[in-house]
């Protein structure tokens, strides 16, 4: 089973200091801004794969654990 961790806008993943700064949501192709860089689904940063970008959250995965970064707390 996959473990799921939910983090709000003001939280950071302490392992790699990820900071969610913005979500550019579009059904045609969403992007996310983390640590001043732009990523799309499938990209990997600091060992975390961006699985899905939704209007108000980003789902990351590492070592079969899912991390949900929520925009707006």
pLDDT in tens, the chain (73 residues): 556 555 554 444 444 578 889 999 998 999 999 989 999 999 999 889 999 999 999 999 988 888 888 887 5
Distance, in Å, from the CA atom of 54 to the CA atom of 29, rounded to the nearest integer, reads: 10
The predicted pLDDT at position 63 comes to 86
Cβ pair 56, 42 in contact under 8 A: no
Alpha-carbon dihedral sign for residues 38, 43, 49, 50: positive
Q: What's the predicted TM-score (pTM) here?
A: 0.76
The predicted pLDDT at position 65 comes to 86
Distance, in Å, from the CA atom of 30 to the CA atom of 8, rounded to the nearest integer, reads: 19
Structure tokens at 54: 């939704």
The predicted pLDDT at position 64 comes to 85
């Amino acid at each position: 089973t996959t473990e799921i961790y939910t983090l709000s806008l003001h939280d950071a993943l302490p392992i790699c200091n990820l900071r969610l700064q913005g979500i550019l949501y579009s059904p045609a192709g969403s992007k996310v801004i983390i640590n001043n860089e732009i990523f799309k689904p499938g990209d990997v940063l600091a060992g975390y794969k961006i699985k899905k970008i939704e209007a108000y959250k980003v789902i990351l995965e590492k070592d079969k654990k899912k991390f949900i970064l929520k925009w707006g707390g």
